[in-house]
Amino acid sequence: MEPWLLVTEDGEIPLPEALPDWDYQMDLHLRRTVRVDLRRARAQSGLPVEAALMLAAVWTATGSNLSGPAQHVRLTDDGTRGVDLDVLLRGADLGGLLLLDTALVLAERRHDARPSSPRRAGSVLWSDRATLRLQGDAPQFPMAVIDFARTSFPDGAAWHLQISGNLESATMGSLLLLINERSTVTAAAFKNAGKPGPVDRIVLSAVYADAARTMIEHALGLDDFVEEGDFPDGSLGATLVGLFDQLFPGRSITDIRLRRRQSPALFASDLQAAVKIFEGAR
């Protein structure tokens, strides 16, 4: 197989490890060529010469919890076949780590297969995976606007902050703010974030406050989030420590963790006051 290529306005470039300037409005156009020796593939898999195969490409985005088929090509001829994969992925469906799986599979069930050979449709004869980190080094808070109805998130939720990885993981690969496109007020607020109106400011303030609460509660729930923790620059741990120090200057992690455990309602009010909810909406 040839490597995946990213199609840009300036031409095609080899797929990089990360796209630091990516955002949800940026669609991805990808290409690659795979050459399949069909006779050899069938022979080494114990399949008859007439067995139909299929070359399939599938994408998965860890940030949006979405995946889907990118392209598939049925292969019934003999000899060596070159297959051009040409894929266009909507930016609104992506986020986090993009996984690109290419696989040669059995196209249809074989009832006459030998015990040691593939027989079920979709049996994988060969596979290859490429990865692309989206927003890996971006200075902005990583986010994506998606349709929650196509995910496991509640349809009626306006946003969801996704946190993954451990405290040593890179911040921009561990955090993703998902906006439900069905919540038109919320989606509009982020679209107008450069010049927000009065309603936009209220929504943005509420999302900021909720994101800060989620991050602090996530941190306090981890045993290794402690004062003496030494986290690398750019890591999730360093980001959470920075946020904690900003919201609770002069307070210890132990004290705040105890406050949350003993008086959760007061802790919620403390956090609300710390983030200064709606103060920026004036």
- When pLDDT is cut at 50, 70 and 90, the band that residue 194 belongs to is low
Q: What are phi and psi of 95, to 5 degrees?
A: 135, 150
In this structure, the answer to whether residues 105 and 171 fall within a common structural domain is no
pLDDT at 216: 95
| 115, 134, 153 - which closes a domain | 134
How many C-beta atoms lie closer than 10 Å to residue 269's C-beta? 11
Residue 234 phi, psi (nearest 5): 85, 0
Question: What distance in Å separates the CA atoms of residue 254 and residue 118, rounded to the nearest whole number?
Answer: 57
Same domain, 115 and 192: no
For residues 13 and 69, membership in a common domain is answered with yes
Q: Are 96 and 63 in contact (CB under 8 A)?
A: yes
In the numeric block, the tokens 């609460």 are attached to: 213
> For residue 183, what are the CA distances in angstroms to 80, 149, 190, 204, 205?
50, 11, 11, 13, 16
Q: What is the pLDDT of residues 33-91, one digit of tens each?
A: 999 999 999 999 988 888 999 999 999 987 666 889 999 999 988 889 999 999 999 88
Shared domain for 129 and 148, answered yes or no, is no
Q: Which residue type occupies 229?
A: G
Whether residue 127 sits in one domain with residue 153: no
Cα 146 → chain centroid = 11
The CATH number of residue 74's host domain is: 2.60.40
If you average pLDDT over residues 160-178, what whole number do you get?
86
Range of the domain at 75: 5-134
**Whole-number Å distance between alpha carbons of 32 and 40:** 21
pLDDT of residue 71: 94
Counted domains in the chain: 2
The answer to whether residues 175 and 81 belong to one domain is: no
pLDDT above 60 (res 272) = yes
